[in-house]
Amino acid sequence: MAKTFAFVFPGQGSQSVGMLDGWGDHPEVQQTLREASDALGEDVGALIHDGPKEALALTTNTQPVMLVAGVAAWRVWRSEGGALPAAVAGHSLGEYSALVAAGVLTLAQAAPLVRLRAAAMQEAVPVGTGAMAAILGLDAAQVIAGCAQAQGSFGAGSPEVVEAVNFNDPAQTVIAGTKAGVDKACELLKAAGAKRALPLPVSAPFHSSLMKPAAEKLKAALAGLELAAPQIPVLNNVDVAVQQQPDAIRDALYRQAFGPVRWVECVQALKARGVTHIVECGPGKVLAGLTRRIDPELVGASIYDPATLAETRELLA
């Protein structure tokens, strides 16, 4: 009996130099790289293959290359007879790959859109003034309380901000905000029993309220794009909901830029839809690992080269 499965797409942090090399010269991957290169006016394949790592880590490059890597793996799966999933979702930026997979956006629309999103996020907060950190070993409610306490310690009217922005698994929540706000929250959360408070090597406080100016630019760009109705249900991050109407999808993408990524709830919602297997489509195994920690009953798998594609096909047969 065929399994009920969902595809999920990773976001920033899973990129690596040469991450598409495992596919060799697979025609679907080459076609995806050509489309993205045409849309962005640069050689995306060379950037992914050659790097350097520092270039891939720039947000304005990371967002388009992760989009491309996810879409490439998806297209290989489909071209080789892989069945359609019951639903798709993506972590943060990965939601754009999910929307391309579901036919809402074309890759030619999505590549410039995520580059604009990245540039707007970078411009919203000067480098060095924002920060993010992963809090390990506390539940989400404790992290939210710690952020509120940290922000309150600066007094009313202070420009310092710190918020819980990525609910990744039951014991891992990412916080973001101003550098002073994040530092203070890390100090308080460690005192409250967090195992670790790890500063993340990112250039902007993604998904925090500080991203509101970036979201406004994204909203303007989305307004000018023709969106199609999804051919597969897309579960979004910001509401943990499936939207059918293009305007509702636009609005969710706008709010996602400055709203938290509710990944734990997304995975639980996929399970509630009858999904038993969650397949990470794109480089790395971050989401497959989170799946197991969110719900050990769910089976996590990954597709990032021909071998993992074959394994996943066998698993879902």
52 preceded by cis ω (within 30°)? yes
Please choose, from the candidates 302, 305, 296, the residue with its C-alpha nearest in 3D space to the C-alpha of residue 271: 296
Residue 126 in this model has a pLDDT that exceeds 90: no
Torsion, CA 243, CA 206, CA 287, CA 150, rounded to 10: -110
Residue 94 in this model has a pLDDT that exceeds 90: yes
What mean pLDDT is reported for the chain? 96
Pure H helices in the chain: 27-40, 44-50, 53-57, 59-79, 94-101, 107-124, 140-152, 179-191, 212-223, 246-256, 263-272, 286-294, 306-316
Query: Which pLDDT value is given to residue 203?
Result: 79
Q: Return the bridge partners of 166, or none.
A: 174, 261
Q: What is the mean pLDDT of residues 185-211?
A: 95
Phi-psi region of 12 (alpha: psi -120 to 50; beta: other; left: phi over 0): beta
Query: Which pLDDT value is given to residue 45?
Result: 97
Query: Which pLDDT value is given to residue 1?
Result: 61
Q: Which residues are catalytic?
A: 92, 207
Q: What is the mean pLDDT of residues 274-278?
A: 98
Kindly report whether the global pTM for this prediction surpasses the value 0.75: yes
Query: Which pLDDT value is given to residue 269?
Result: 98
The whole-angstrom separation of Cα 137 and Cα 189 is 10
Compute CA distances 42 → 66, 69, 131, 293, whole Å.
15, 16, 30, 39
Give Rg (Cα) of the chain. 19
Q: Return the bridge partners of 88, or none.
A: 7, 234
